[in-house]
Structure 1
Amino acid sequence: MSGLIKLLPDVVINQIAAGEVIQRPSSVVKELMDNALDSGASEISLKVSQAGKEMILIQDNGCGMSPVDARMAFERHATSKISNSEDLYKIQTMGFRGEALASIAAVARVELKTKRPEDEVGTRILIQDSKLIKQEACACLNGTQIQVSDLFYSVPARKKFLKTDSVELRHIHDEFVAHALSHPEIKMSLVQNETEMYLCRPETLKQRIATLFGKKYLEPLIEIQQDTEIVKIKGFLGNVELVRKSRGEQFLYINHRLVKSNYLNHAIQSAYEEVLSIEGYPFYILFLEIDPANIDINVHPTKHEIKINDERLVYNFTKVAIKQVLGRQILAPQLDFENAQPGLEKIFNTSGFKSKTSSSGISYESSDSVGSKTHWKNLAFPSASREEINDRENLVFQTESKDLSRPEENVLFQVDEPLDIKQLYSTYIFYATKEGIYIVDQQNAHERIMYEAFLNSMVDRPVESRNLLFPQTVHLPRNKSLVLKSILQELNNMGLVIEEFGSDSFVVQAVPLLLKEEVDVEEYVQQILEQFSQFQEVKLSMHEQVARSLSKSGSLKRGKELSIYEMQSLIKQLLQCTHPDISPTGKKCIYSIRTDELHKIFK
């Protein structure tokens, strides 16, 4: 039977192409901001409504378009940036494929207004389902304004798979930040639902980092600039203070284009690990300049992937350059000529109290009369008798032998019933009963215990808190501060009492009583926000997401030594949980071998 193969209509072709180019609202933002940068704009504003699902509006003051060019811009593979195949190997612009506007117009309602400086009036175009609805003259500012409404209205299946507003807004934020960092000389702004999230004025890269991430990022920054015949490297590296538990603050640009290269990212990560022996993901913003003839951008429609000639050479240059800079700035010895007593100053605790660690590794606060700076100076430069000095030394250097089998004041867990129990590798709890042998992962088990406690918290029955001796102020980047504000009530109900203190600053008043260990409060809050961002990708209620984030960030870690009573209580609380066998993220908490199974092994 003939005639089975047919040419698809243009509308269907455009929708298929849109499936590769436009995957979510942030894809629209990326393509339109790329076009704004290519237009030579010095100002770009981005406005979104309902995380871009309802409306995305981008306006620039670039070169604008003529009426003919404005209409041609919506045709597939129509572009002003290349004209032949040779141009593909010397691309200097962000866009070049001529697919973006045609793909957007296939899945949304688009209104374009544009005007060149030499024109008296501008052009207004309405397009829907890849069809021109209206084209007319209009009054508008120089440059181009594009409004995209009702994204994926014609593709319900794609719209169904969009995430929550908070997740989609985070992806839009990531695209905006990536573009804002790549061109700090351009004024950029982001407004979400009439709320201004960012206003970036023309500035240096270092100032732009402070605008986007906060002034606290300035001090840990290390500038890098290396020139070779193969690649030129410049930008900023973060020191150990900016190492995070999850990805998200790593920006690698090649010829000012943000790229995803596992190979080059591995070079950067390896340099950090070899110099600093870190565990986590460092902060960096790196710009690599490579001859366009030595790279291929035409790999994927999103243009995030790239192929490089002599990729191994670029890898080695990048790694060596970063290792040299980190070695000079961080590992170089620093002499303090102002400190007359460097040994004593390291011992002084200027905060007024010191953290003392028990034999089980649990920190607790001791009196400032023991470790204060004043007390140490009295020992170094005494005005008292020798007997009084001996008494003070005994107070400072007193040692106590503690029996782990006895409960202490600040133990993590307590029970009254003894078990035949041991700890293996400071990670696993091993115990035996008549029924069999059990091995418990202490971190996963504690996550389960904390999760169910947080999950059961309500407004009228919040989790108990422990007030901090000194409330701590936490400063956050704008995107993280907005996330924190959205979950403040949930956090307060779960025992983490935080109050707003300015636009992007917060004061932590208390932490959950379940956190028996002393924690770095700012790091704790940062981890909660990172975990919360990850859990947003999973369809859970806000209450469940916050409970997971708190339990994951504050749980007992592997490598922590526990006393007998702490291990006994941990097991008792775990067995009282609704689901004691798995952690909130699906990891195994307890592994058992029944007695009869054990006997079979040796028969």
Structure 2
Amino acid sequence: MSSIIQLLPDHVANQIAAGEVVQRPASVVKELMENSIDAKATDIKLVIKDAGKTLIQVIDNGAGMSVTDARLCFERHATSKIRHAEDLFDLHTKGFRGEALASIAAIAHVELKTKQDQEELGTHIIIEGSKFVSQEVAVLPKGTSFLVKNLFFNIPARRNFLKSDSVEMRHIVDEFQRVALAHPTIYFTLIHNGSEVFNLPASNYRQRIVNILGGKTNEKLVPVTEETEIVKISGFIGKPEFAKKNRGEQFFFVNNRFIKSGYLHHAIMSAYEGLLKEGNQPSYFLYLEVPPHTIDINIHPTKTEIKFDDEQSLYAILRASVKHSLGQFNVAPVLDFERDPNLDTPYDYKDKDSSTPLIQVNANFNPFATETKTKSSGSSVSYASKSNHFPKKESASWESLYVDLKTDTEEVASISFESSAVTGSLFDENEVEKSTTTYQIHKKYIVSSIKSGMLVVDQNKAHQRILYEKFLENITVHSASSQQLLFPLHLYFSTEEIEFIKELQPSLENTGFQFDEIHSDSIQISGIPVNVQESEVSIVLEELISNLQNEIPENSFSLNDGIAKTMAKSLAIKTGTSITVKEQENLVNSLFACKDPNVSPFNKPTFITLSVEDLDKKFAI
């Protein structure tokens, strides 16, 4: 029998490797930007067209490459970072395996322009699907420019699995933000379809966070600092009152590399215990510095997961540091019976010198001078002539103030007033009892009698169905009513969330929202849907962004369906809310007027029925 095992050609092996390294356009962005950082660049520009499907270009002013390096960088496992196996446990750079450029070149059209500072001319290389098309000398500025076009052009199945432009662009923005937050001293620029999305000049960590997430972020941040032999922690956490439903503003950086860690996230949530509402997530931007030999980065293809040598100690230190910062800045409550909070010194004034207050006294002021007031010129003027146009009757003594008071009170006492107390009800009590057909149990279920037995309705799920069909009809028919606000409502969001709201604006306006202005970090709303309270607007929008942020359906109807579901869930009557008999009856009647009253928008039953036979069986002996 002949041998059946054979070596794969290089271009096939590269395409297989690309499946692990390059999952979507955002993967290319991450790899190319990290290469620019390793090249000591101080200015990095990212240019995107059609969410990376047509063009991804990264331009930097880094060290550049020689002619030989420019050619070798596209070979598999060609790297300048690793010499021995031990080097894998002492990494100080981003890329090290030498797979990224080879994988990208295998599934796209790649154009490389690079030049070193000491060289007069640079190198221009064109590769299409791992095949070198041309290599020539060119006049170029210092640095490197990687241009990736037509991603997955030779793997149409992978290209068809890409999501819509809005979803893919959101993943690119996520990768861009992670790299930019880790390196605030580098100037970053992001341009999408000719318009500038981010322009982040070199700054410090706090300013970089504010530049990315919006101007109002600064007041939400609480600094965290701790240094031990195991780890050095720095960064910022968000105040509990600014916590959100989604986890979009949570970042861990280990040695300037973004990571995901459910274990460390649990440490943060433990520190916030008792300070957050149920379901809310705090914001945090934490930078951890650990010795490189105590971590293993090479356990995941995207290098977003890290294995720590001593996770338990790291957990304890991180939790204590966050809890200490919350207490130090008076964010967390303090239990101290001998402490007077009025004597606390604000943190900003702790190290400042106190200034002696200046006291000014008018030596000529006489509080007992009731008849005359001395002017600076020496003349006197009567109070009565200045403050009153009518002569004031002088009282001989304080007893004269109560003269004739007795007769006045007697006259007043003889006058009868109509009582404002409610002595009756709008409906007769017997009539109310007869008309009462619904009852609320545990502020959760509504029970009503029917001919065959008993009906039990879940008030929350039933109201979700009612609101869902109403919102969906308003969006599709464009017939929503809007209540105008007396004063416009200003809400602040991050740049990414603002872009998301712009995409949803037409559908939101069909539900009753009216947007006056949309800025880079805030929106102004002048009208809201009729059944939405002003205090609920920010909650509704945050939950809408949280639920639809990761996957925006390409179908317009599906997007509208998602908006209707999210708004219905946010505005439905919550479990634990007491409602009147009239409201109960109206809820039941509105439910059975729906097109599909049996299930909620999330396919949960809205009601159940118990027949008389079922009840009889419960009491059978």
Superposition TM-score tier, normalisation by shorter sequence? 0.7 to 0.9
Q: Does 1:484 align with 2:501?
A: yes
CA contact (8 A) 2:446 2:456 kept: yes
Aligned AA (1:531) = N
Aligned AA (1:498) = F
Q: Which moved more, 1:43-52 or 1:541-550?
A: 541-550
Which protein has the larger Cα radius of gyration, Structure 1 or Structure 2?
A: 2
CA contact (8 A) 1:531 1:552 kept: no
Q: Does 1:435 align with 2:433?
A: no
Determine the C-alpha separation between the residues in 1 that align with 2:422 and 2:28. Answer: 65
Q: Does 1:168 align with 2:168?
A: yes
Q: Does 1:326 align with 2:342?
A: no
Other structure's SS at 1:519 match: helix
CA root-mean-square deviation: 2.8
Aligned AA (1:144) = T
1:472 deviation in Å? 0.8
Q: Which residue number corresponds to residue 107 of structure 2?
A: 107
1:203-282 equivalences under 5 Å are 203-274=203-274, 276=276, 279-282=279-282
Determine the C-alpha separation between the residues in 2 that align with 1:90 and 1:304. Answer: 17
Aligned residues: 535
CA contact (8 A) 1:404 1:563 kept: no
Determine the C-alpha separation between the residues in 2 that align with 1:58 and 1:179. Answer: 13
CA contact (8 A) 2:167 2:551 kept: no
Q: Which residue number corresponds to residue 524 of structure 2?
A: 507
Other structure's SS at 2:2 match: coil
Q: Does 1:522 align with 2:538?
A: yes
Q: TM-score, normalised by structure 2?
A: 0.81
Determine the C-alpha separation between the residues in 2 that align with 1:122 and 1:46. Answer: 21
Aligned-pair identity (%): 42
Q: Which residue number corresponds to residue 65 of structure 2?
A: 65
- Listed one character per residue, the Cα deviations across residues 581-601 of structure 1 (whole Å, up to 9, x for unaligned) are 333333343344444444455
CA contact (8 A) 1:127 1:134 kept: yes
CA contact (8 A) 1:405 1:563 kept: no
CA contact (8 A) 2:51 2:165 kept: yes
CA contact (8 A) 1:429 1:439 kept: yes
Other structure's SS at 2:91 match: coil
CA contact (8 A) 2:253 2:288 kept: yes
Q: Which moved more, 1:15-24 or 1:550-559?
A: 550-559
Q: TM-score, normalised by structure 1?
A: 0.83
Other structure's SS at 1:335 match: helix
Aligned AA (1:429) = I
Q: Does 1:546 align with 2:563?
A: yes
Query: For 1:496, which of 506, 513, 522 is the aligned residue?
Result: 513
CA contact (8 A) 1:449 1:573 kept: yes
Other structure's SS at 2:272 match: helix
Q: Does 1:52 align with 2:59?
A: no
Determine the C-alpha separation between the residues in 1 that align with 2:503 and 2:187. Answer: 28
Determine the C-alpha separation between the residues in 1 that align with 2:278 and 2:494. Answer: 23
Other structure's SS at 2:549 match: helix
- Listed one character per residue, the Cα deviations across residues 81-127 of structure 1 (whole Å, up to 9, x for unaligned) are 11111101111111111111111112111111111111111111111
CA contact (8 A) 2:528 2:534 kept: no
1:548 deviation in Å? 2.9
CA contact (8 A) 1:222 1:239 kept: yes
Q: Which residue number corresponds to residue 400 of structure 2?
A: none
1:443 deviation in Å? 2.9
Aligned AA (2:552) = Q
Determine the C-alpha separation between the residues in 2 that align with 1:300 and 1:83. Answer: 21
Which consecutive residues of structure 2, in runs of 5 or more, have no partner in the other structure?
335-340, 346-404, 410-419, 429-433
Determine the C-alpha separation between the residues in 1 that align with 2:25 and 2:454. Answer: 52
Q: Which residue number corresponds to residue 567 of structure 1?
A: 584
Determine the C-alpha separation between the residues in 2 that align with 1:593 and 1:563. Answer: 23
Which consecutive residues of structure 1, in runs of 5 or more, have no partner in the other structure?
339-384, 388-397, 407-416
Q: Which moved more, 1:495-504 or 1:7-16?
A: 495-504
Determine the C-alpha separation between the residues in 2 that align with 1:284 and 1:74. Answer: 37
Determine the C-alpha separation between the residues in 1 that align with 2:425 and 2:62. Answer: 74
Q: Which residue number corresponds to residue 116 of structure 1?
A: 116
- Listed one character per residue, the Cα deviations across residues 559-584 of structure 1 (whole Å, up to 9, x for unaligned) are 32222222222222222222223333
Q: Which moved more, 1:201-210 or 1:584-593?
A: 584-593
Aligned AA (1:462) = S
1:528 deviation in Å? 2.5
Q: Which residue number corresponds to residue 335 of structure 1?
A: 342
Distance 1:58 1:438, change over 3 A: farther
1:535 deviation in Å? 5.0
Distance 1:165 1:277, change over 3 A: closer
1:446 deviation in Å? 2.3
Q: Which residue number corresponds to residue 17 of structure 1?
A: 17
1:336 deviation in Å? 8.7
Q: Which residue number corresponds to residue 305 of structure 2?
A: 305
Distance 1:121 1:422, change over 3 A: farther
Determine the C-alpha separation between the residues in 2 that align with 1:590 and 1:538. Answer: 33
- Listed one character per residue, the Cα deviations across residues 177-200 of structure 1 (whole Å, up to 9, x for unaligned) are 111111111110111111111100
Determine the C-alpha separation between the residues in 1 that align with 2:421 and 2:88. Answer: 73
Distance 1:140 1:439, change over 3 A: farther
Distance 1:402 1:229, change over 3 A: farther
Determine the C-alpha separation between the residues in 2 that align with 1:560 and 1:124. Answer: 69
Q: Which residue number corresponds to residue 344 of structure 1?
A: none
Determine the C-alpha separation between the residues in 2 that align with 1:286 and 1:278. Answer: 23
Determine the C-alpha separation between the residues in 2 that align with 1:336 and 1:421. Answer: 56
Other structure's SS at 1:541 match: helix
- Listed one character per residue, the Cα deviations across residues 493-543 of structure 1 (whole Å, up to 9, x for unaligned) are 11111222544432111211132x452433333333223314526866333
